[in-house]
């Protein structure tokens, strides 16, 4: 295993695109047959177009987003990225702790599995929306 102090380029580019709210740019970091589980245990969306659509829908719910990297571990083909995913609804923020497992192939992201507590996310999002 190679030890890295930097995120692999496709993951860094993916996060940059997410923070810009640009699902299309995020999609350019994916393999054509990417598998993306936006929240485990829900089924993955498969294929670049489906992943871009799912990301566009998720990002489009908020006025802005920022996914902050807390820590990461990188192997030869897998990276575990601990994040705080922040979504703003108007001026109110809903943030959720998340861990993304990224599988890399041929310089692109071939799979993503995001793990977060759905109950906590629902509570925080509802509070941010004033519900």
Element holding 69 (H helix, E strand): strand 64-74
pLDDT digits (tens, 9 = 90+) for 68-92: 999 999 998 999 999 999 999 999 9
pLDDT tens readout for residues 23-40 = 999 999 999 999 999 999
Q: Report the alpha-carbon distance of residue 92 to residue 129 in Å, rounded.
A: 7
For the domain spanning 9-128, the CATH number is 3.10.450.50
Is the model's pLDDT at 3 over the cut of 60?
no
Task: Look up the pTM and report it.
Answer: 0.93
- Looking at per-residue pLDDT, the higher value among 5 and 8 belongs to 8
**Neighbour count for residue 37 (Cβ, 10 Å):** 19
Indicate the domain borders of the chain.
9-128
- The token pair at 1 is 């295993």
In this predicted structure, the answer to whether residue 115 has a pLDDT above a threshold of 70 is: yes
Residue 44 in this model has a pLDDT that exceeds 90: yes
């Amino acid at each position: 295993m190679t030890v890295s102090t930097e995120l692999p380029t496709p993951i860094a580019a993916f996060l940059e695109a997410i923070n810009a709210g640009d699902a299309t740019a995020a999609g350019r970091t994916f393999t054509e047959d990417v598998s993306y589980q936006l929240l485990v245990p829900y089924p993955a969306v498969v294929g670049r177009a489906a992943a871009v659509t799912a990301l566009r829908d998720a990002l489009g719910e908020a006025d802005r987003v920022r996914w902050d990297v807390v820590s990461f571990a990188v192997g030869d083909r897998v990276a575990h990225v601990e994040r705080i995913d922040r979504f703003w609804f108007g001026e109110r923020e809903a943030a959720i702790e998340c861990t993304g497992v990224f599988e890399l192939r041929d310089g692109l992201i071939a799979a993503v599995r995001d793990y977060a507590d759905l109950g906590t996310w629902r509570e925080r999002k509802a509070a941010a929306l004033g519900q």
